[in-house]
Amino acid sequence: MVKDLPETLALHGGPPAKRRPFGKGRRHGEREKRLLEEVVDSDVLFYFFGAKVFALQEEFARRYGKRHAIACSSGTAAVHIAVGALNLPPGREVITTSITDMGTLTGILYQGLVPVFADVDPGTLNMDPVSARERITPKTGAIVVVHHSGLAADMDAFLALGREFGIPIIEDCAQAFCCEYRGRLAGTMGVLSTFSLNHFKHITCGSGGLVLTDDEALRYRATLFLDKCYQREEKIRNPFFLAPNYQMTELQGAVALAQLEKVSEIVERRNALGTRLDRHLAGIPGVTPQVTPAGCRHTYFLYLFRLDRAVLRCPAREFSAALNAEGVPNADHLITGGRPVYLYDIFVNRSAFPGTSYPFSPERIYQRGDCPVAEAAFEDWITMNVHEHYTQEDIDEMACGVAKVARWFAAR
């Protein structure tokens, strides 16, 4: 594949491997405009008096085969609502992965719960169920499983843990629309699951979120939790627990509905491009694509590959810079900005709320060494985007870029 490429890296003045501009396309169009126009014409933007948010909830639940979907203002709100719906007393612990977005963690902290971080699997970078098991204590109140990058985590193992210890499992599917685990859709297995509609996700309404559940009591509490604990269904205004306002507006609902019509096509396209890239990269010495376990459908929110540092004598940072120069956009800091989340200042300094270490517990300190696989990942992994508008030629040229850079670092 790389035979006809010049030896000289673009970083050193050679011609870049990516020669043509990336395929482009619009994410929003006539359908979004039409549904937005209907909302404006209705003169109602408030979800409870409108139709679009309710229609979105119905359609989302139908597509996932779940009894209830609850729409809200963001993926962060969705996790907060899910955790809030569980009604855990402050001080209980919630186990989650050490490589995720802060949006997984914000709601845990706001509920006065203590995040406990498990290590990741070295082949997938999803939470390792063995590490999660080691962190279970009598204080464990929930496990939040994140399907990182569009690849399902090992749900059978997490569901087994949940059953064995009587712990509810929440799935954070913010990055994993339509992603499959052994024939089941990610988001259909936990007692609650959450999604994000932010700008970067497979589908977007600017900002938005969704929660799925089959449980009527959880649905009811979730709907109160996103709306100041106002019992709108019963026309009662007498809040009995603390709840924020995480309403989705009709404007977001309209765009989200239009986007939902496109989601299957988007994930199919990303899957086809991502698996093509996998095939190319599998043949490059020193480079290993993220492992997609048998029976899983990866939907490539991000494309990840690992560098074998025994073959390529360079840290991910150097590889990344050379690949960027080849015209292949990529990053070496995963989704967290370069460290496992427990090494963020908020955890190391226990500074969630001013003047207090609440809700952190003296028994749970956060420090380097907590999750060795996650920490090492920042030396070895590269992420790239696989947008649905990319062409096969884009993928082939991206692979050429990776091959060219790998060849150079292998020969060094």
Ligand X SMILES: Cc1ncc(COP(=O)(O)O)c(C=O)c1O
Point out which residues pair with 127 in neighbouring strands. 120
Compute the distance between CA of residue 6 and CA of residue 314 in angstroms, rounded to an integer. Answer: 20
Q: Any contact of residue 104 with ligand X (CB under 6 A)? A: yes
Task: Give 314 or 377: the residue with its C-beta nearer to ligand X.
Answer: 377
Backbone angles phi, psi at 354, to 5 degrees: -65, 140
> Which x/- pattern over 181-220 shows residues binding ligand X (rule: CB under 6 A)?
---------------x-x--------x-x-----------
CB of 341 to ligand X, least distance (A): 11
Single out the segment in contact with ligand X by CB under 6 A; choices: 2-10, 156-164, 171-179, 248-256: 171-179
Listed in order, strand segments (DSSP E) in 163-215 are 169-172, 180-181, 184-185, 192-196, 209-213
Task: Give 198 or 288: the residue with its C-beta nearer to ligand X.
Answer: 198
| Binding residues for ligand X, total number by CB under 6 A | 16
Task: Give 60 or 408: the residue with its C-beta nearer to ligand X.
Answer: 60
Compute the distance between CA of residue 35 and CA of residue 41 in angstroms, rounded to an integer. Answer: 10
Among 101, 119, 375, 394, binds ligand X (CB under 6 A): 101
Residues contacting 13, CB < 8 A, separation 6+: none
Residues 25-84 that bind ligand X (CB under 6 A): 74-76, 79
Of the candidates 264, 290, 293, the one whose C-alpha atom is nearest the C-alpha of residue 388 is 264
CB of 79 to ligand X, least distance (A): 6
CB of 246 to ligand X, least distance (A): 10
**What is the per-residue DSSP string for 333-371?**
SGGGTSS-GGGSHHHHTT-SBTTB-TT--TT----TTSS
Q: Any contact of residue 336 with ligand X (CB under 6 A)? A: no
CB of 198 to ligand X, least distance (A): 4
Compute the distance between CA of residue 157 and CA of residue 288 in angstroms, rounded to an integer. Answer: 25
Compute the distance between CA of residue 43 and CA of residue 135 in angstroms, rounded to an integer. Answer: 51
Determine contact, residues 100/336, Cβ cutoff 8 Å: yes
Task: Give 191 or 307: the residue with its C-beta nearer to ligand X.
Answer: 191
Of the candidates 106, 97, 195, the one whose C-alpha atom is nearest the C-alpha of residue 146 is 97
Task: Give 104 or 193: the residue with its C-beta nearer to ligand X.
Answer: 104
Task: Give 82 or 161: the residue with its C-beta nearer to ligand X.
Answer: 82
> Which x/- pattern over 136-165 shows residues binding ligand X (rule: CB under 6 A)?
----------x-------------------
CB of 77 to ligand X, least distance (A): 7
Among 118, 174, 260, 343, binds ligand X (CB under 6 A): 174
Among 57, 96, 98, 100, binds ligand X (CB under 6 A): 100
CB of 205 to ligand X, least distance (A): 10
Among 126, 175, 193, 249, binds ligand X (CB under 6 A): 175
Determine contact, residues 211/224, Cβ cutoff 8 Å: no
Residues 227-286 that bind ligand X (CB under 6 A): none
Of the candidates 156, 182, 181, 179, the one whose C-alpha atom is nearest the C-alpha of residue 169 is 156
CB of 373 to ligand X, least distance (A): 18
CA 412 centroid distance within chain: 36
Task: Give 207 or 361: the residue with its C-beta nearer to ligand X.
Answer: 207
Determine contact, residues 34/206, Cβ cutoff 8 Å: no
Dihedral sign from CA coordinates of 192, 197, 200, 201? positive
On the CB side of 392, CA atoms within 13 Å amount to 3
Residues near ligand X, by CB under 6 A:
74-76, 79, 100-101, 103-104, 146, 172, 174-175, 196, 198, 207, 209
